[in-house]
Structures are given as C-alpha cells and as structure tokens.
Amino acid sequence: MSRSHFNTGVTIDGFLVGEKIHSGGMASVWRVTRPDIDQPVVMKVPTIQESDDATIIVGFEMEMMILPRLSGIHVPRFYAVGDFARQPYLVMEEIRGHSMFTLLDKAPLPAARIASLGRKIAAALVDLHRQNVLHLDIKPSNVMIRDSGEAAFIDFGLSRHLLLPDLLEEEFRVPMGTGPYIAPEQIMKNRSDKRSDIFSIGVLLYYLATNVRPFGLPNARSQLRKRLWRDPVPPRKLVPDIPPWLQEVILRCLEVDPDARYETAAQLAFDFLNPGQIVLTDRANKLERDPFMTAMRRRFGSKSKSDARFQPAPGLVNLAPIIMVAVDFSDSEEALNEELRAYVKRLLAISPGVRIACVNVLKLNLLTINPVVDQEGRNIHVQRLVELKEWARPLALAQERLTFHVLEHMDAAVALIDYAKMNHVDQVIIGARAGSTMRRFLGGVASKVVAEASCTVTAVRTPQGALHDLPEEPAITGS
C-alpha cells in the first residue's frame, strides 16, 4: 500500500486508522483501533516511498525484529506487525504519560528531581539490557515517563539485540545514533557494548542539570570524533549548586573509556537510590576540563591503545558464522536462483548452526539520476527486499538465523567483496551466469568475487549451464 492510500478511515489488517499524531522523516504514527483491543494503540508506518535512504528501511526492519521480543512496563506493548510485501507497520501500546523532551525547557532541574528521573531511566535500562537489547539511541524524545511513574523507552530503529543479527552494523559503515548523545565507541562503529547506553544517559543528565549539551550539536564526523579525546566542561563549572555526588555520577557516565563508566545500569540505579554512599573521586569537585596535554595524549595515543578502549565487553559479540548468499533478480536468472537455493539447502543440512545473509545489489548509475521508485510507484529498495524474502522462504529458517540486505553500489562485485570483508563473512555463495565472449574478456561479477574476496567463495551454476558453457567461472572454487 502506498503512502497516498494511508489515510484516516482506512482499514488495514483489521485496524481502523484514526488521526495522525506524529509525522517525522523516518516514520509517521497514527492512532488505530481494533475491536479485540481495549486499550489505546498506535500504528507506526515507515516513511519510505519518497525516500532513497536505506537506513529508514533497515532501521524499521530492526524495530520489527526487536519490539515483538520485548516485554514489561519499560517498553510499549507489542500487538502486530505488517510485512514489507504489502504494508510495513508496527502496532503497539500508546504510552500514556509525557516525553522527557518536555522537561528540557525546565532545565536546570533540582538535584533531587534529576536523581528521581535518573533512577527511573536506569531501572528501565536494567530491564532492557536483561532482555539482551541495547537501545543505542537514548535521548529525551525516546524516553517516556508513564502516568504511573515508570520510565519507558520507545523507538528501537537503531537498537541492537545481542542474540539477533545486527542489520545496521552489517550494512552500513557510518556511526549510527543521534549526534549529541552518541557514545565514543558508537563513533568507532562498535554497537555491542551496553555501556554505550549509560553514556547517553549521562548526556541527558548533564543537560537536565545545566541546560547545556556537553558536546554541543555536532553535525560533522570531525566534530563527533572530538568525543574520543575531549572531556566536557564539568557541570559544577556551569551550575555551582550541583552537589558533588551528582557531578560524580554524571562525569562517570560520560567517561571516554567505557571501562571507566558504570559497568551496568544497575550500578547507576543503585547510586541514585543511595547518593550518600557514593564514593567521591576527583570527578566530584573538578571545575575545569582535563589539561590540554592530557587531551592530546588521548587524541594521539598509540593506535593499539585507542582501539582497545572501544572493544566490546566480553560476551557481547555474536560469533555465529555467517554465510553470504548473493542473489540476482535479473529476468534470466530464475533457474540459477533455484539452483542457488538448492545448494544452500544442502549446505544447511550438514551445517545447521550457520547464519545466512541473503544479499542483493541495487546497481547505481554514475552519470544519471537513480530512480527511487519503479513504474508502478513502488520503492525499488523495498521491492528487492521483498524478493529476497520470497527467495529465502522455502529455506524455512528461524528469523535469528536469516537476514536480508540490499546493497547500493555502482559495481556489484565491489559491493559484495566489501560487504564480505566488513562483516567477517566466512563463505560467499554466488550464482555464476552462463558464459559469453564479452564476460570472458571483461570478467563477470562472480569471477571478480572469486578472485578478490577474502573468504571462501562457492560459485554455483545451473546443470545445463555447466554442461553447455565454457567454464570461465568455476562451478565450485575457494579463495
């Protein structure tokens, strides 16, 4: 269903669409009703028809994977999900309460109020982390305070489930997060550390205490990278009435090195409950940022030490092996795709523990404008995603073992090679087209992947093609 048909009064899968209550660049939110649901619910619909931003699609996929697996008072209750093949959406509880965003105009807040809010947010984070989810986009607009008093997180489009594939990490090479709140390790593209959420809470607490953002409003990668070496102005320099214990908590959350922060959200919640028992360090009374030379040593320290600071905490990385299957949807490739699927089935029969990443490349043109929608007005990126899912449906794999990725690049071979390298793929399976004089001379996509990929590559051909075509690309080969 296109956006033009999504209006008040439309019925979708039994849900009657009511008023639109939010419209943003990533999604719109509508009140909906269904006879069997007796509480207020909303439908979140991604904004994709007019957009060529693949992160919108992948981010919504992440939320569709994560939200149904969450439970408890600290997240919205999940009700239903719509598939990309028809109309993608999420239906969830409409949380009654107020957003933390409404408190920004009231900052600076009294220390007791900040402690109360901090305790509630930390308690919610404890519950979220216990469910193996990192939010990775904690900011005022994504934190709700229910009328009953508890904090609840919304918007899991940039989140990570530690027991599920991370589509954002696997497809994109840029930091994912909101500039003022993103943790240093996220800037280094590490999305596996729970302490990143604690850093974001520290940014929020800093603003509530001072009415100032500790790192400003960065709008460029170079500005974000300053966070890797430059500490913020101590809160008590801006608001002298802030008690030392609160500055201790805030600056500990904002440490550049994750190892110097609170190890868990439970420890942060405990300190807010027991401020009189907080052990004060030099953080508590400092009134100036670290000396310039200290910051320079952090900035220009050895690469090995710099990298080590941002490695994920033990036990947080998904080590499941990945097999990447490159699927081509050209008109002439139906038989080859069937052979490709048959090969993957045989592989799964002998290797039941692997993860399968289904990949398709949407080729971009260098000299012309690339269309976003096809002749029927459908988003091309979404259509490729739907086709990948249809191709993989007969594999009957559990969701946690199967992911889908549409890459956009001018060179399909380069896109596949780079993806395999960036995501530590263990094996690439690719269909090799029938031979032709031009392809033998220039080299086909499969040939280039076989020659240049950093992992094992298996090139699959149709039986007919293997019998009648010269094998410019091997039937099975490794590199």
Distance CA 474, CA 466 (A): 9
Give CA 432 to chain center in angstroms. Answer: 32
For the chain, domain boundaries: 3-93, 98-309, 322-468
Nearest alpha-carbon partner for 300 in 188, 225, 224: 225
Distance CA 260, CA 222 (A): 24
> Is residue 316's pLDDT more than 50?
no
What per-residue confidence (pLDDT) applies to 123?
95
What per-residue confidence (pLDDT) applies to 57?
87
> Is residue 313's pLDDT more than 60?
no
Fold classification of 98-309 (topology level)? Transferase(Phosphotransferase); domain 1 (1.10.510)
Which has more confidence, 352 or 127?
127
Q: How many CB atoms lie within 10 A of CB 206?
A: 27
| b/e code 124-136 from CB counts within 10 Å (16+ = b) | bbbbbbebbbbbb
Mean pLDDT of 265-281: 92
The reply to whether the predicted model has a pTM over 0.85 is no
Q: Regarding the domain with residue range 322-468, which homologous superfamily does it belong to in the CATH classification?
A: HUPs (3.40.50.620)
Side chain identity, residue 174:
V
Q: How many CB atoms lie within 10 A of CB 110?
A: 12
Residue whose structure tokens are 């402690």: 115
Q: What burial class does residue 288 get, using C-beta atoms within 10 Å of its C-beta: 0-12 exposed, 13-18 middle, 19+ buried?
A: exposed
The reply to whether CATH 1.10.3720.10 applies to domain 3-93 is: no
Which has more confidence, 413 or 375?
413
